């Protein structure tokens, strides 16, 4: 699929396997999410534009580079929060805007409960962060919100996707680039990714139900 990019780096495979393991603790889970988010962010930003910038080194003045585009980081609450800090470490001047979505368990459809995107002055590049792309409903809603804002270049960073979900998303938004660490073959009857890694938000924040 054009504009769908799956990480092939050995470190991505290594950290994703630890993330999947049911014995991985919430603290370890957050660490693996952090590491995978950083790998995704490096891959997702490798074509950003640069402009010349004058730099005074300890020895002389030189012409360096700085990012030419305004970057917006848009995590989908709550699980998307786990991907924000590693991306900010790489792009510390990026703006962060939050979108709140939850999945209706009866319909598996996203329900928006929070959106504070400003009116006008859209960023040049919007990075949508959500660790899971299962049906793609929440990410689809986030992309539509960014399009209404006026963002022209939208990119999705997800740790894990389902083949069915990413194919449907690509069909709906072929121009949006999607970066994932892994693509699993199917969704179960409850629309969870299989083999998957469980509920990313619950595992990240240690809020699993007994």
pLDDT at residue 112 in the model: 76
Q: What's the whole-number mean pLDDT along residues 3-7? A: 97
Residue 200 predicted with pLDDT over 60: yes
Residue 159 predicted with pLDDT over 70: yes
pLDDT at residue 154 in the model: 98
Q: Residue 105: which pLDDT band, with cuts at 50, 70 and 90?
A: low
Closest C-alpha to 170, from 149, 156, 160: 156
Residue 82 predicted with pLDDT over 80: yes
- Which residues make Cβ contacts (< 8 Å) with residue 73, sequence separation at least 6? 84, 87, 88, 91, 94, 95, 96, 97, 127, 129
Tokens found for residue 85: 């800090």
Q: Which of 31, 70, 103, 124 is catalytic?
A: 103
Q: Residue 156: which pLDDT band, with cuts at 50, 70 and 90?
A: very high
pLDDT at residue 108 in the model: 64
More confident residue, 209 or 145: 145
Distance, CA of 92 to CA of 190 (rounded, Å): 38
Q: Which of 20, 31, 78, 202 is catalytic?
A: 202
Q: Which of 20, 70, 78, 199 is catalytic?
A: 199
Distance, CA of 32 to CA of 157 (rounded, Å): 15
Distance, CA of 17 to CA of 2 (rounded, Å): 26
Q: Which of 25, 66, 107, 148 is catalytic?
A: 107
Where is 4: in which H helix or E strand? strand 4-6
The yes-or-no answer on residue 78 being catalytic is no
Distance, CA of 81 to CA of 76 (rounded, Å): 7
pLDDT at residue 114 in the model: 79
CATH topology (fold) of 4-50+65-205: Rossmann fold (3.40.50)
Residue 192 predicted with pLDDT over 80: yes
Tokens found for residue 117: 């995107």
Domain ranges of the chain: 4-50+65-205
More confident residue, 110 or 62: 62
The yes-or-no answer on residue 172 being catalytic is no
The yes-or-no answer on residue 107 being catalytic is yes
> What DSSP letter does each residue of 115-167 carry, written as one string?
E-PPSS---SEEEEE-SEESS-HHHHHHHHHHHHHT-SEEEEEEEEEEHHHHH
């Amino acid at each position: 699929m054009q504009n769908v990019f799956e990480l092939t780096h050995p470190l991505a495979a290594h950290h994703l396997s630890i993330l999947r393991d049911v014995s991985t603790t919430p603290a370890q889970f957050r660490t693996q999410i952090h590491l995978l988010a950083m790998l995704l962010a490096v891959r997702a930003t490798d074509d950003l534009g640069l402009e010349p910038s004058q730099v005074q080194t300890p020895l002389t003045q030189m012409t360096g580079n700085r990012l030419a585009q305004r970057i917006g980081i848009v995590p989908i609450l709550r699980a998307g929060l786990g991907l924000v800090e590693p991306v900010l470490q790489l792009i510390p001047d990026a703006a962060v805007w939050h979108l709140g979505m939850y999945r209706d368990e009866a319909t598996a459809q996203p329900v928006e409960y929070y959106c504070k995107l400003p009116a006008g002055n859209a960023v040049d590049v919007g990075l949508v962060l959500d660790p899971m792309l299962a049906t793609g409903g929440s990410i689809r809603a986030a992309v539509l919100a960014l399009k209404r804002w006026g963002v022209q270049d939208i990119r999705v960073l997800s740790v894990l996707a389902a083949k069915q979900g990413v194919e449907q998303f690509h069909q709906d938004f072929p121009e949006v680039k999607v970066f994932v660490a892994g693509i699993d073959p199917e969704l179960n009857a409850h629309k969870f990714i299989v083999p998957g890694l469980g509920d990313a938000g619950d595992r990240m924040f240690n809020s699993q139900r007994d």
